[in-house]
Structure 1
């Protein structure tokens, strides 16, 4: 069953230890994206991983360090037409009543209003977006 959500929502990324982050729901973006102010690739038992430092709250120096296996590297074109090679990870997103596995790219979003974009690949078959509303899934405490 699909869940109705607004154009911006609070969600969590439990695999990364991020209990709460505000995300823009972006049906124009194919892949989801997370702000990472520092990335450090490393090898774990012969597999490529990345250590990620995230500022989950806008205008805050509070930083979370987490790690995830690298599943790919892709060239992504942003809304301004700029191309950038990005690391791709797979993680779990919890939004409202749904827990969904997603792929997510990592990039520095310091100048952007939202620390995360939830793209249409993560939304497909799970959510319906009402672009006139916000926070329909509720606020994570």
Structure 2
């Protein structure tokens, strides 16, 4: 198979990148790009799911910056699914799933995110392989798409 043909139309990103979740009001969040994970995950706290007009809606808080629990973004999004997800330690967890646009590398597309507590994880967000169909990951590169808040180019 010609590898150049299969990746020539894809945007190259690093194993960790800054991205934006515009509909959630999150301007910057550092994400680990994880080809070993199928599903993307977002660190949330104070998660509450209620019915609003016949549909489930998730309300939750996000600390978008690592090691910063003072910065909080409060989010609301329709629940599109609920599913069992196996974490990196092999433990199953029932999670709510939302769909929201992600912006990275001068592009924007919709992804599904599971909502979970990632307090003990280094990254507040994990981008799984189903969210990166049009991306090519360089495992030796970081922040290819640009600097985060307060960082120099």
Q: What is the TM-score of this pair, normalised by structure 2? A: 0.89
- Greater CA deviation, 14-23 or 34-43? 34-43
Q: Distance in 1 between matches of 2:147 and 2:109?
A: 18
Report the secondary structure of 2:38's partner residue.
Answer: coil
Q: Does 1:42 align with 2:62?
A: no
Match of 1:83 among 70, 76, 92: 92
Asked if 2 retains the 8 angstrom alpha-carbon contact of 1:37 and 1:110, the reply is: no
Q: Does 1:94 align with 2:82?
A: no
Q: Distance in 2 between matches of 1:67 and 1:139?
A: 27
Q: Distance in 2 between matches of 1:51 and 1:93?
A: 18
Q: Does 1:107 align with 2:116?
A: yes
Q: Does 1:72 align with 2:77?
A: no
| Aligned counterpart, 2:21 | 13
Divergent runs of 4+, >2 A: none
- 1:96-135 map, 5 Å: 96-124=105-133, 126-135=134-143
Q: Distance in 1 between matches of 2:31 and 2:87?
A: 16
| Aligned counterpart, 2:6 | none
Match of 1:31 among 34, 39, 52: 39
Q: Distance in 1 between matches of 2:25 and 2:67?
A: 20
Report the secondary structure of 2:23's partner residue.
Answer: helix
**Structure of larger gyration radius:** 2
How many residues are paired up? 140
Unaligned 5+ runs, structure 2: 1-8
Q: Distance in 2 between matches of 1:59 and 1:37?
A: 15
Q: What is the TM-score of this pair, normalised by structure 1? A: 0.96
The alignment yields a C-alpha RMSD, in angstroms, of 0.9
Asked if 2 retains the 8 angstrom alpha-carbon contact of 1:16 and 1:67, the reply is: yes
